[in-house]
Structure 1
């Protein structure tokens, strides 16, 4: 049985909310530990590694974009399709990015005029910083991502934007490699490509070193792209796909086991040992892309897929919720009981999810469709001509609805 080569890979869409929630829990750790010290004893190894959810996003991004564009952009370079691709990527990330960026700026200004605890990010509000962030290049000028963005998680969007700009050239090479290379060799190359961040960690003991963000985005994005090229060459039986589903569960178990092993047996001088598990993200994505069974089925449920759809909004808005609460505690000297703190943590996470749902519905999806129409307006005209007249309403049916009912040409993250 061959792997379907078009449309959404729902298990990977569902995986996005897992990655996003991992990052959310990483940032909310101090509040969670304060509310429940018992959870710190039990879950610290897992939550402390939550920053690796960003690397999982990088692998997913390389995989899904290659899934969508390998045959469209790989055979030969053409300026127009490349610019079309970049505009579609902008339509996917820029609206939420801009909204959360300006909310962060307004929040910093708010703390200057209300209370006596101004945001420590006040000095970041400069004209040059604004221009760099507006065009998503702020990270390119800094060896460390900390403090580069008004909305903290936006650093990774700046890193991804660099990958998007290079994608048009990268896909040419991967297409030619995929044409003459066996799937297992491509998988081996993908694994090798994912190694640099982990090798640097093992060599220096530090995951966050000057310019370490560059091999993180480069290695993981490339690994995802090569892995996708391999998957597209596979011809799998039903039995093989079931085995792949079981392997996905096994990989997650190994990831958790490694994190707890390093917690119980720390390596002298190694900071952030959670970075070791990055090498398992590419195999995990592959197993979920080709697998069937319990875990792929769970990630493909309607709830998980919807979570994956709002995951980007959640990723971009959660730190604003977290930061504003920390400011309120410091400004008003809030002293909250342990019992109440548990409700606060749950409420803040719920607020972040609610804000994500709102942003997805009112900003992300409408803006994405609006920006896509700017480059697909000829297709809109064609659809308008093809639509039958509605005799009851005396007008044509919705163009948006007709476009949405067409066969899918890309996975969700595209």
Structure 2
């Protein structure tokens, strides 16, 4: 495990929480918080490059990914549907929207999934499915998938291609994550001085594009990649090995899926106060950690216990 990458998972989740919580106090500008998702996409490519073995089997690989991602998302999507029926009795949730959300399909009419963080999971699942399709290429699988995603991602800014839901610049982040992970796998080191430069330019780009409220790969993808590389150069530093920092990384997925419920609760009752904003951020993180400890982790362990008996695989 790379401690810096695990720490960045927590950092990315908190950044997204802050970005969404700004609906409680719109006077602040933290558009860069949305780049937490871009960081996730880069990390996802890195993790796949580090974890896929040459003898991996497509079915087992996809099963591992499904176990890791799907159960908690389905539980939280179910709660999101319940939230609509309880607090918005006049609204209705169509079966089409439920199916599209649960199966990671394109939402109808350009809308979001029922649990809005699920939009990023649509791209994650696309990434996993494509990897599974080409995993039989053995050592050529990762380079091939990276090149395919670079090609598709580059089409996202070309006229008609921009209309295709799954042809977006996020694919570039997956592919570059694969390439970075392949370098990490070979134990290639980054000098601290170079890492500092990466971090300086990363923060400068985040600040610049936050100010101008930019969008796209240059605005958020490039600084996210620089941030990952810069933090990796400090891999052995104590700050990344800190128990709280690592715990935040462990709980990042739960934080990511739980925080909309906290924000929705505050939006129904309070808004327009910076105190409410900070309280909403704190409770989003707090309940995310609780969810990880009492729902995600036990559920994952239970499913893994069954799957290991049947297939003798390990899921990380």
Fold equivalence (TM over 0.5): yes
Give the deviation of 1:304 after TM superposition: 0.9
Q: Which residue is equivalent to 2:200? A: 253
Q: Which residue is equivalent to 1:321? A: 262
Q: Which residue is equivalent to 2:113? A: 149
Give the deviation of 1:54 after TM superposition: 0.9
Query: Which stretch of the first structure deviates more once superposed, 60-69 or 276-285?
Result: 276-285
Q: Which residue is equivalent to 2:288? A: 356
Matched, 1:168 2:132: yes
- Gaps in structure 1 of 5+ consecutive residues: 1-7, 35-39, 74-80, 179-185, 381-402, 404-408
Measure the CA separation in 1 of the matches of 2:207 and 2:117.
26
3-state DSSP class of the match of 1:214? coil
C-alpha spacing 1:261/1:132, structure 2 compared with 1 (3 Å): closer
Measure the CA separation in 2 of the matches of 1:287 and 1:192.
26
Q: Which residue is equivalent to 2:276? A: 344
CA RMSD of aligned residues (A): 3.4
- 1:151-300 superposed matches below 5 A: 151-172=115-136, 175-176=139-140, 210-211=163-164, 214-234=167-187, 236=188, 240-241=189-190, 243=191, 245-262=192-209, 271-272=214-215, 275-289=218-232, 291-292=234-235, 294=237, 297-300=238-241
Matched, 1:129 2:97: yes
C-alpha spacing 1:64/1:271, structure 2 compared with 1 (3 Å): closer
Q: Is the Cα contact below 8 Å between 2:152 and 2:167 reproduced in 1? A: no
Give the deviation of 1:11 after TM superposition: 1.2
C-alpha spacing 1:53/1:170, structure 2 compared with 1 (3 Å): farther
C-alpha spacing 1:343/1:274, structure 2 compared with 1 (3 Å): farther
Matched, 1:98 2:74: yes
Q: Which residue is equivalent to 1:19? A: 12
3-state DSSP class of the match of 2:114? coil
Matched, 1:69 2:52: yes
Q: Is the Cα contact below 8 Å between 2:31 and 2:210 reproduced in 1? A: no
C-alpha spacing 1:226/1:170, structure 2 compared with 1 (3 Å): farther
Measure the CA separation in 2 of the matches of 1:104 and 1:28.
17
C-alpha spacing 1:200/1:314, structure 2 compared with 1 (3 Å): same
Matched, 1:31 2:7: no
Measure the CA separation in 1 of the matches of 2:10 and 2:210.
25
Matched, 1:367 2:296: no
TM-score (normalised: structure 2): 0.84
3-state DSSP class of the match of 2:82? helix
What do residues 108-165 of structure 1 show as CA deviations (whole Å, max 9, x unaligned)? 001234xxxx5xxx35x1112222322x3232x5584xx3311110111122111111
Number of matched pairs? 314
- Gaps in structure 2 of 5+ consecutive residues: none
Bigger CA radius of gyration: 1
C-alpha spacing 1:191/1:166, structure 2 compared with 1 (3 Å): closer
Give the deviation of 1:288 after TM superposition: 3.7
Measure the CA separation in 2 of the matches of 1:309 and 1:19.
12
Q: Is the Cα contact below 8 Å between 1:66 and 1:171 reproduced in 2? A: no
Q: Is the Cα contact below 8 Å between 1:191 and 1:282 reproduced in 2? A: no
Q: Is the Cα contact below 8 Å between 2:194 and 2:230 reproduced in 1? A: yes
Measure the CA separation in 1 of the matches of 2:108 and 2:220.
26
- 1:381-392 superposed matches below 5 A: none
